[in-house]
Amino acid sequence: MKTWICILIVVFSLLFSMPQKAMAASSCAPLNIRLSTSQDFEIPINNGKGCAEGSVFNPTWLSTIKGTGNVVSPEAGTWTIEGKAGGKSISFKSASNIAINDAVEWEAQAQKFWRNAIRFDVSWSKNENTTLKIHLNANL
């Protein structure tokens, strides 16, 4: 019995520490969200558009992941955001005309245990190149 428990612990720890498979032909910034932490992300913006994709760890089955985020920079312009988690749309309280320091609440239904694919697509009101810096919190 102890042997099986040890094997399960090793398998789960290996799965949790495995890097996500690289998405084929994806130019999105990497995004690996950890629950119950505050994180900063940078998304390269080309001609006013950019994306970030990766995963969010989910310790339970079919749970709701809630979060807040805000734009740290650039200071000019406004943003529109769309997102998907596990293939389903992420719900946003306000997803357009987001300015610097505006708090944006979001909610996603995790579809499976362990890791769920997540992707955010952003559009800037300016058709220029920059780096979008965001601060993100996520919780169950």
Per-residue pLDDT tens digits for 75-121: 888 998 898 887 788 888 777 788 888 888 888 876 655 677 888 89
Residue among 80, 70, 77 nearest 128 (CA): 77
End-to-end CA distance of the chain: 32
Residue 132 exposed, middle or buried by CB count within 10 Å (0-12, 13-18, 19+) = buried
Q: 21: which 2 tokens?
A: 């498979």
Topology, domain 24-139: Jelly Rolls (2.60.120)
Tell me: cis bond preceding 74? Omega within 30 of 0 counts. yes
| Residue 50 near residue 44 (C-beta atoms within 8 A) | yes
Chain segment 50-84, per-residue pLDDT in tens = 999 988 776 666 677 788 888 899 888 899 889 88
Question: pTM of the prediction?
Answer: 0.73
